[in-house]
Structure 1
Amino acid sequence: MLKGLIFDVDETLVYYEGYDHREWYEKWVLPELRRHGIDLDYETYRKTVSGELPRSYVERLGIDHVEFWKLVDDVNLRYRREMARLGRIKAFPDVDALGELKKMGLKLAAVSNASQECTEFVLNLFDLRGHFDVVYGKDYANLDGVKPNPYLIEKALKALSLRPHEVLMVGDSLHDVTAGKRAGMRVVNVIRFGKIEGADYYVRNLRELVDLVRGMF
């Protein structure tokens, strides 16, 4: 029986108007890194984020990798605050579906590769935090435990006291699908930006997710 859902946050519940990953890195992150004597090209940074290289790879630059990622996350939080001030962070219009899912008695978790503070910031921005029993951003004790690694999802399952077969993973990206499957879960791909192969179910939005869940009771 279905007892819970674990959601991705960025591009599943909220989005950033005009966001470009490379532009964000070169305009926001790189200047701050250079102020700390670090010069890391975008392509190498991208590979550490995608999992092609471990997060600890930056230690080759002579900096502790935990401190490096905390620095990046501090910049990311400043970026999110500025985008919020400019009205460029948006919640998808169907996020009210979270309330309907809670009314069904389901446990909900949110899991993001962003930092805990960044994740809580955007959820609080749209009064979404209260829908979730637990929220997990990246864990500095296990920086390679971000999706597609199932670590954060397994952490959420444990906190919810639920088993993988009792929970659906809901997300928009290949990392979400892969992490959910590695955790032994059924995965729902929200195809706002295109279909990801390997998911168990596909919905166009969270309204369709509610219909899908109702059919499982």
Structure 2
Amino acid sequence: MTEYDAVLFDSDGVLVEPPARETQLEATRAAFREVGVDDPERRHLLDVASGVTVDGLHEICAAYDLDAETFWDARERHDERSQFEAFRANARRRYDDVTAVAELPVKRGVVSNNHHSTIEFKLDFFDLRPLFDTFYGREMTIESLSLKKPNTHYIERAIADLNAESVLYVGDSESDVVAAHGAELDSVFLRRSHRRDVDLSVAPTFEVDSLHDVAALVK
């Protein structure tokens, strides 16, 4: 078995519960309302809330004659606020098996497609910051959308911070596995309850049910 000198983790669905779809949609509705669009098409709400691309965002904004930067600023602020509120209301929790991260005898980091500010909030809110040597989310800009996983940009930055050579990446989505492959890393697909029925078109190096299983792999 490969010996690893660092482990990187996704955040939502791995360390903490993922955001509720309706919460994401309501944050997007609020952003549209802020810029004067009271009744956006549902397909546009879904696209913005579920991982819009740079080109897709510009197309949606053009449909309503919106300035893309202005709309995206509103969307990011409302989305960030909705996540903070969910954590504070105990509507989103950290997973119990996160305690296994402390058992890892190697350096650790977090790389997420969520906002960097939101990752920072989670780590502090749940007292997880001491477990990690570095962490990256994306900036709250349109440009950052092109740097999200499966792009390896933030993964490579984390690896550089850790000065690591053999790294394992743990995620709960196909884009996590693809990003790990792109960065030439071994990958773990964490099949939590919300991922029970997901079929992957790419094969992870490992598939597990718990972060305790990840600790066992690294040990």
TM-score after normalising by structure 1:
0.83
Is the 2:25–2:45 contact (alpha carbons within 8 Å) kept by the matching residues of 1? no
Does the CA-based 8 Å contact 1:57-1:65 persist in structure 2? no
Whether contact under 8 Å (1:150, 1:180) holds in the other structure is yes
Within the candidate set 81, 91, 94, 2:94 is matched to 91
Unaligned runs of 5+ in 1: none
- Once residues 158 and 94 of structure 2 are traced to their aligned partners in structure 1, the CA distance between those partners, rounded to angstroms, is 23
Matches within 5 A, 1:1-217: 1-16=3-18, 19-21=19-21, 23-38=22-37, 40-47=40-47, 54-60=53-59, 61=61, 62-63=65-66, 65-101=68-104, 104=105, 106-139=106-139, 140=141, 141-163=143-165, 166-192=166-192, 193-194=195-196, 197=200, 198-214=203-219
Post-superposition offset of 1:149: 1.6
Paired with 2:154 and 2:67, the residues of 1 have a C-alpha distance of 22
Distance in 2 between residues matched to 1:162 and 1:107, nearest whole Å:
8
Cα distance between partner residues in 1 of 2:46 and 2:160 = 30
Structure 1 residue 65: Cα displacement:
4.2
* Shift >3 Å, 4+ stretches: 38-42, 44-51, 62-70, 139-142
TM-fit CA distance, 1:63: 4.7
* Normalised TM-score (structure 2): 0.83
> 1:157–1:97: structure 2 CA closer, same or farther, 3 Å change rule?
same
Backbone CA RMSD of aligned residues: 2.3
1:73, 1:114 within 8 Å by CA — same for their partners in 2? no
Aligned residue pairs total 205
- Indicate if the aligned counterparts of 1:189 and 1:196 stay in contact, CA closer than 8 A: no
Q: CA deviation at 1:24?
A: 2.2
Deviates more, 1:112-121 or 1:64-73: 64-73
Structure 1 residues 114 and 177: alpha-carbon distance in aligned structure 2, compared to 1, 3 A threshold:
same
Identical aligned pairs, as a percentage? 30
For residues 160 and 196 of structure 1, the distance between their equivalents in structure 2, rounded to whole angstroms, comes to: 32
Alignment check: 8 A CA contact 1:49 1:55 kept: no
Task: Quote the offset at 1:71 in angstroms.
Answer: 2.4
Comparing 154-163 with 61-70, greater Cα deviation is found at: 61-70
State the distance in 2 between where 1:168 and 1:4 align: 7
Counterparts in 2 of 1:159 and 1:114: CA distance versus 1, 3 Å: same
Amino acid at match of 2:88: R
Separation in 2 of the partners of 1:211 and 1:15?
22
Q: Is the 8 A contact 1:134 1:159 kept in 2?
A: yes
The aligned amino acid for 1:36 is V
